[in-house]
Structure 1
Amino acid sequence: MRFIFLASSLLCMFVSSAQENKYQALLLDKSLTDNANAVVRLDYMKIHIGSPQKMTYTVRRAVTVMNKRGNRHVRTTASHDKETHIKKIEAFVYDRQGREIEHIKKKDFRDLSAVDGFSLYTDDRLLTFDYTPIQYPYTLEFRYEVETSDTGFFPPWYFLGGYLSSVEKSHYEITYDDPGLKPDIKKYNLEGLSLVEKEEPGQLLFTATNIPAIRPESLSPGFRSIAPRLAVRLKDFTLKGHDASVADWKQLGGWIDNTLLKDRDILNEETIAKVRNLVKGETDDLQKAKIVYKYVQENTRYVSVQIGIGGWKPISAIDVDRVKYGDCKGLSNYTHALLKAVDVASFYTVIHAGERKVDFDSDFARLQGNHAILAIPYKGQYYWIDCTSQVHPFGFVGDFTDDRNALIVTPEGGKIVRTVSYLNEQNYQKTTADYTLSHEGHISGEARIETEGIQYDNHFKLETLDHDEVVKHYKDYWDNINNLKIGTYRFENNRDSIVFTEKVPFNAVNYATLSGDRILFTVNAFNRNSYIPDRYRNRRQPFDIQRGFFDEDEFLVKLPEGFNVEAIPEPKQIDTEFGRYTMRIQYHPEMNTVQYQRSLLIKQGFYPKEKYNLYRDFRKQVARNDNAQIVLVKTNP
């Protein structure tokens, strides 16, 4: 009996210890901790589709955070609204040995408005908890269950959630009550994944294990483009109380137009009369559109409510007109309504916005995107406007929505169309400068910078900054010039040609280096490109130059009296598949001047990893030649 009792006790202790230490962090496999700030111990989602109007899903996510940088991989927020109800929610915190040290219950979560202070959006809320760690590593497990009537925006699945995070186990399961409810699934980047797929009547299951972390590299592609993931859609679904049956983009666009946008573009007669009066006498549709866009910029403001939180149906044009603010959907729909009032066609457009380009899948129609803009057809092309911007010129969207596939919503249905691209030479910068070099090594003069395309987008907001911010910008921009002082600068923003011009007087003491009877100085004071991509012994990923650009520079330098040129760099021309570089310095002794001419073209492109070192060598040569120096010597020492 004593032996049986002892064996039972040991068994209980073993089971208890195993349960207690299920999230221990000290004995994690090295393959999971290499390059990882966090290890996802379990990423679990089980979705049940009861009907096109009912879906439930259960989520469990446990993350072992190895250091402070790993905290961003912890998730403790769930959104809800009148269609989506959180049935259960809790979290557990474990120490490095896997012992539970805190249980966070539903009452401990804060219930917040998704956009506090804006009465139009009070239905959208968040349950959230902010955990402050007291030690590393620690593990946080987040659990919740959701029931929703919204089945249109189907949860996608990432087997790996981001750079510098590994995954011990990832489990994604979908069950459904009827064969007609079986979702369509598109798979991305699953090669090399330790994955078990299972399909049985009423069930789809994917389980992956031991996925190592991916370390980001210079010019790494967007994580979404290389991540192992699934996109999922239901053909028959419900969103915000509206039923849909969608097989392709045409049907999806038609459904958005006939349901989510239906009757949202109605305006009161007073506003219609006002906007018609604004365009009175104008017959050209594009000019009328510019007038309306300017009116929207001057009379509304943007509030940030993303599509995934704020719902997919825009606020009515009447409400936006009344309160003078809206999110991207509301302002795009409002501008569309104003344009309609003056007989100008425009199309509501859903898009993935952000500096990193993300395309809609042309062959997999599903609700997606995080932004809305407008497309205005005119003489065989589209003019794109972002109605949330109060500063961008008409027809210029910058790097937020450029060069990507988007869904245009028309009365005839949806279409996938690519937005405007700003390619290579179109992203243009011309820098000219006339300056004088003194015999003490000081410089003074004026620089002029003209920018177009994406380079315009990077510069034109200078005119909105105060004086101290502008001066700081130039000191950062020309950080190779010590002791820089900025004079009375002038800006010109040509919003029709979309060209921004900066005229910047300057002076700086001790720019050049004095060495006995000689002066050494770098002629290129105003556009040195010192960027060199990081070096890797074993590059693992392709590299992506998202946007090309073209710079041209011409500087005229008045040399100090009593000095001649002793040494001057030879002309240089480098031609590669990644771009082109030219540099030429001419000495004019009769005028005692040096003329510097330079150009640099970098081409947009997606390149294999095997070419990375060639690109890096090109950028090294550019940086070296941009720093080439002239040597002056006294004529009468």
Structure 2
Amino acid sequence: MKKLFFLPLLLSQPVLAQTEYQADVLPQALRENAHAVVRRHETLFTVKSSGEATQRIHSIVTVLDEQGDNHAKMAVAYDKLSKVTNLEGSLYDAAGKLIKKLKKTDISDYSSYTDYNLFDDNRLKSASFPKQPVYPYTVEFTVETNERNLMFYPTWLPQNEEHLSVEQATFTVSMPKGLALRYKEMNLPLAGVSTPSAGGGTLYSWKLANTPAMELEPISPPAREQLPMVYTAPADFDVDDYKGHLTSWSDVGQFYYKLNEGRDQLPEDLRQRVLELVKNETTTLSKVRKIYQYLQEHTRYVSIQLGIGGWQTIGADKVAVSKYGDCKALTNYTKALLKAAGIPAYPALVRAGDNEPDILTDFPSFQFNHVILCVPNDRDTLFLECTSGHGPAGYMSDFTGSRHALLVLPDGSHLIKTPAYQSADNLQQRRIVVTLTERGDATANVRTRYTGLQQDDYTSVIHQLNLDDQRSWLLKRIRIPAYELMNFAFSEQPGPIPAVTETLTLAVRQCATVSGTRLFLTLNLMSALSPAPPVLQARRAAVDLGPNYDFSDSDTITYQIPQGYTPEFTLEPLVVESKFGRYQAQLTVNGDRITYIRHIAMHRGRFPASTYSEWIDFRKKVAKADRAQMVFVKRN
């Protein structure tokens, strides 16, 4: 009787287990707007001591269409301080039937070496399933690792992209007795809970369930401000025989300082060379510029990532010999050069990247991926990007500008702000002279001066591309329907706000449209803005205009009209005012020459979601104004 009683239960267990591999049981709400659905995602991070932890991640994801195929791949990074102890994977069809299990031969193991990493002990284990001919299908991965770099604890991000819904996900952190967990929750429907565990430790756990896919709205805040996630960090850690305490930004700076203390010593002959180099300079600023120029002319950037060396620099004496280094090494080397000249300077840790969000200022932890040098100079603090081979001293660009950095001092390290570049710094000043023919074709001579953030791309092109590639880059960038690039040239003007001047000669086909005795000419030749994406549903997120929206563009275009043509009408001056910026355009006629002047100034800022309709209206009016045409009639 006992056997008969238990038999149905035993038979039912595989059926229940199979449901998370079956696509047809998925609720429609989780399919909506999704390319994939996380059926189950379990993360268990077990801290054994201040210097060792294990992590196990088990995930089951149903892929609904081709755009979700990236979930059929798994890559796990490791180095000498971490080890991948297990990597398993399985593939199932829509009905939950097993198609394939990963074999050892399916798993690749290779160095993550790149052409800018001279020394790198980072490696990857990776595996992927072949592209499936039928959707949906389900993939399952289990990854287990051993971690001995506990400067970093995991960040839980179960819904880590757009168009991904989550059926169920859990995150558990097991802390031993005597070690505290620090964490920060963001955008979670339910707060985490903590419970006692065996041996006097504590279990922390978070859950997420039945969360529909999200599509980030245009010009909305960073994803981390909208997606559910949990940041974790230690209070005490041990890595490669270095111990650290981590509860404040001063703690972070103190650890970095101790890790790199005493590594700024230069060979005596180089120290004397520095003194000779600056002996005729009378100001701190001129000395810094001289030394920075020496750095750029005599060193090159090479990434070096080796164990704790990801945070510990190579000594300045070694850089003096090798003439290369990573951001830490070149920053430390520059600090040593300035020290030889009697100028104090301090490293500043920063999260760099053109599109990287700023750090979480209320959660002290190792959130940084780059280091720059800060040179106090009375009220005029100077920042140096020591990995740049061509940038001017003091200019940060959008790679490290306008964000928080941790100034590392012997005592009392603290957060500071890097320079922010305003609308008046980021200029595009364009002058164009256009000569029209009766057929509507034209030649255009264009001179444009870009400053601040608007010159960043051009500086990179000048220093990284040859002439043929520069031409190809320009051909993709110039927004004219039909033209030929006859000539082009660039010139740089270095300074605290650097500038690039671009000159172009263009042959433009059908610049004006001919219809009988009339010429129809769109006045804005190269700088027209498009309308903003419309609202398809109620706006949820704030309108976030970042640093790239802080700019000021002006265009002055002079058109030489063919003889015998006169304007059929004129255009009245136009001004469009908005909280987001200001647009103005005007036209003057002087015989057979007309001059079109356009100016738009934008301002960064964050505005309530309700203002998106105002943003659409502003962009619509600007786009309409940028399509303005003049009509010229040929007189007999």
Same fold (TM over 0.5): yes
Aligned counterparts of 1:516 and 1:116: Cα–Cα separation in 2: 61
Between 1:151-160 and 1:560-569, the stretch displaced more is 151-160
Per the alignment, residue 558 of structure 2 pairs with 556
2:384 maps to amino acid: I
2:417 maps to amino acid: R
Aligned counterparts of 2:307 and 2:397: Cα–Cα separation in 1: 23
2:61 maps to amino acid: V
The yes-or-no answer on 1:353 pairing with 2:355 is: no
Per the alignment, residue 574 of structure 2 pairs with 572
Per the alignment, residue 528 of structure 1 pairs with 528
Aligned counterparts of 1:232 and 1:427: Cα–Cα separation in 2: 38
TM-score, normalised by the number of residues in structure 1: 0.91
Between 1:332-341 and 1:558-567, the stretch displaced more is 332-341
The 3-state SS of whatever aligns with 1:618 is: helix
Aligned counterparts of 1:562 and 1:137: Cα–Cα separation in 2: 67
The 3-state SS of whatever aligns with 2:487 is: coil
Compute the displacement of 1:621 (Å): 0.8
The 3-state SS of whatever aligns with 1:412 is: coil
Matches within 5 A, 1:351-390: 351-390=350-389
Aligned counterparts of 1:151 and 1:440: Cα–Cα separation in 2: 71
Gaps of 5+ in 2: none
Per the alignment, residue 182 of structure 2 pairs with 184
Per the alignment, residue 78 of structure 1 pairs with 76
Per the alignment, residue 148 of structure 2 pairs with 149
Per the alignment, residue 607 of structure 1 pairs with 607
C-alpha contact (below 8 Å) 2:119/2:305 kept by paired residues: no
The yes-or-no answer on 1:511 pairing with 2:511 is: yes
C-alpha contact (below 8 Å) 1:41/1:169 kept by paired residues: yes
Between 1:19-28 and 1:119-128, the stretch displaced more is 119-128
1:508 maps to amino acid: V
The 3-state SS of whatever aligns with 2:43 is: strand
Aligned counterparts of 1:26 and 1:275: Cα–Cα separation in 2: 72
C-alpha contact (below 8 Å) 1:565/1:631 kept by paired residues: yes
Matches within 5 A, 1:207-222: 207-222=207-222
Between 1:284-293 and 1:115-124, the stretch displaced more is 115-124
Compute the displacement of 1:156 (Å): 1.8
Per the alignment, residue 443 of structure 1 pairs with 442
Aligned counterparts of 2:67 and 2:175: Cα–Cα separation in 1: 39
Compute the displacement of 1:393 (Å): 2.3
C-alpha contact (below 8 Å) 1:35/1:214 kept by paired residues: yes
Q: Deviations over 1:14-46 (max 9, x none)?
A: 433333443222321122121212212222221
1:569 maps to amino acid: L
Aligned counterparts of 1:443 and 1:537: Cα–Cα separation in 2: 44
Would the alpha carbon gap of residues 461 and 174 (structure 1) be closer, same or farther in structure 2, given more than 3 Å must change?
A: closer
C-alpha contact (below 8 Å) 1:154/1:234 kept by paired residues: yes
Q: Deviations over 1:352-410 (max 9, x none)?
A: 11222422233321111222222222222332222222232222221111111111211
The yes-or-no answer on 1:37 pairing with 2:35 is: yes
Between 1:203-212 and 1:44-53, the stretch displaced more is 44-53
Would the alpha carbon gap of residues 161 and 425 (structure 1) be closer, same or farther in structure 2, given more than 3 Å must change?
A: same
Per the alignment, residue 411 of structure 1 pairs with 410
Would the alpha carbon gap of residues 143 and 322 (structure 1) be closer, same or farther in structure 2, given more than 3 Å must change?
A: farther
Compute the displacement of 1:101 (Å): 2.4
C-alpha contact (below 8 Å) 1:331/1:387 kept by paired residues: yes
C-alpha contact (below 8 Å) 2:532/2:615 kept by paired residues: no
1:354 maps to amino acid: G
Between 1:511-520 and 1:36-45, the stretch displaced more is 36-45
Compute the displacement of 1:429 (Å): 0.9
The yes-or-no answer on 1:128 pairing with 2:126 is: yes
Aligned counterparts of 1:508 and 1:584: Cα–Cα separation in 2: 23
C-alpha contact (below 8 Å) 2:557/2:597 kept by paired residues: yes
Would the alpha carbon gap of residues 314 and 560 (structure 1) be closer, same or farther in structure 2, given more than 3 Å must change?
A: same
Between 1:261-270 and 1:52-61, the stretch displaced more is 261-270
Aligned counterparts of 1:594 and 1:621: Cα–Cα separation in 2: 23
Compute the displacement of 1:215 (Å): 0.7
Choose from 586, 589, 594 the match for 1:587. 589
Between 1:280-289 and 1:509-518, the stretch displaced more is 280-289
Per the alignment, residue 243 of structure 1 pairs with 243
C-alpha contact (below 8 Å) 1:307/1:369 kept by paired residues: no
Compute the displacement of 1:214 (Å): 0.8
The 3-state SS of whatever aligns with 1:292 is: helix
Aligned counterparts of 1:303 and 1:73: Cα–Cα separation in 2: 33
Per the alignment, residue 162 of structure 1 pairs with 161
Aligned counterparts of 2:9 and 2:519: Cα–Cα separation in 1: 84
The 3-state SS of whatever aligns with 1:257 is: helix
Matches within 5 A, 1:69-468: 69-73=67-71, 76-105=74-103, 108-115=106-113, 121-135=119-133, 136-178=135-177, 180-190=178-188, 193=189, 197-200=193-196, 202-258=202-258, 260-304=259-303, 311-464=310-463, 465-468=465-468
Cα RMSD (Å): 2.7
TM-score, normalised by the number of residues in structure 2: 0.91
The 3-state SS of whatever aligns with 2:469 is: helix
The 3-state SS of whatever aligns with 1:597 is: strand
C-alpha contact (below 8 Å) 2:185/2:191 kept by paired residues: no
C-alpha contact (below 8 Å) 2:38/2:166 kept by paired residues: yes
Compute the displacement of 1:117 (Å): 7.8
Would the alpha carbon gap of residues 289 and 139 (structure 1) be closer, same or farther in structure 2, given more than 3 Å must change?
A: farther
Gaps of 5+ in 1: none
Between 1:109-118 and 1:153-162, the stretch displaced more is 109-118
Compute the displacement of 1:563 (Å): 0.9
C-alpha contact (below 8 Å) 1:478/1:525 kept by paired residues: no
Per the alignment, residue 626 of structure 1 pairs with 626
Aligned counterparts of 1:46 and 1:314: Cα–Cα separation in 2: 33
The 3-state SS of whatever aligns with 2:585 is: strand
C-alpha contact (below 8 Å) 1:121/1:310 kept by paired residues: no
Compute the displacement of 1:114 (Å): 3.1
Between 1:269-278 and 1:303-312, the stretch displaced more is 303-312
Q: Deviations over 1:548-584 (max 9, x none)?
A: 2111111111211101111232211011101100010
Compute the displacement of 1:431 (Å): 0.7
Would the alpha carbon gap of residues 154 and 4 (structure 1) be closer, same or farther in structure 2, given more than 3 Å must change?
A: closer
1:35 maps to amino acid: N
C-alpha contact (below 8 Å) 1:257/1:413 kept by paired residues: no
Per the alignment, residue 68 of structure 1 pairs with 66
Q: Deviations over 1:326-352 (max 9, x none)?
A: 333333233323333333322222211
Compute the displacement of 1:506 (Å): 2.2
The 3-state SS of whatever aligns with 1:132 is: coil
C-alpha contact (below 8 Å) 1:163/1:223 kept by paired residues: no
Per the alignment, residue 46 of structure 2 pairs with 48
Per the alignment, residue 489 of structure 1 pairs with 488
Aligned counterparts of 2:411 and 2:587: Cα–Cα separation in 1: 59
C-alpha contact (below 8 Å) 2:79/2:307 kept by paired residues: no
C-alpha contact (below 8 Å) 1:249/1:414 kept by paired residues: yes
Aligned counterparts of 1:316 and 1:72: Cα–Cα separation in 2: 41
The yes-or-no answer on 1:616 pairing with 2:612 is: no
Between 1:573-582 and 1:397-406, the stretch displaced more is 397-406
C-alpha contact (below 8 Å) 1:253/1:409 kept by paired residues: yes
1:208 maps to amino acid: L
C-alpha contact (below 8 Å) 2:33/2:214 kept by paired residues: yes
Aligned counterparts of 2:205 and 2:360: Cα–Cα separation in 1: 23
Aligned counterparts of 2:61 and 2:290: Cα–Cα separation in 1: 52
Between 1:364-373 and 1:532-541, the stretch displaced more is 532-541
1:506 maps to amino acid: L
Would the alpha carbon gap of residues 106 and 353 (structure 1) be closer, same or farther in structure 2, given more than 3 Å must change?
A: farther
2:185 maps to amino acid: K
Aligned counterparts of 2:477 and 2:121: Cα–Cα separation in 1: 45
Compute the displacement of 1:194 (Å): 5.3
The number of residues matched between the two structures is 627
Aligned counterparts of 2:324 and 2:24: Cα–Cα separation in 1: 52
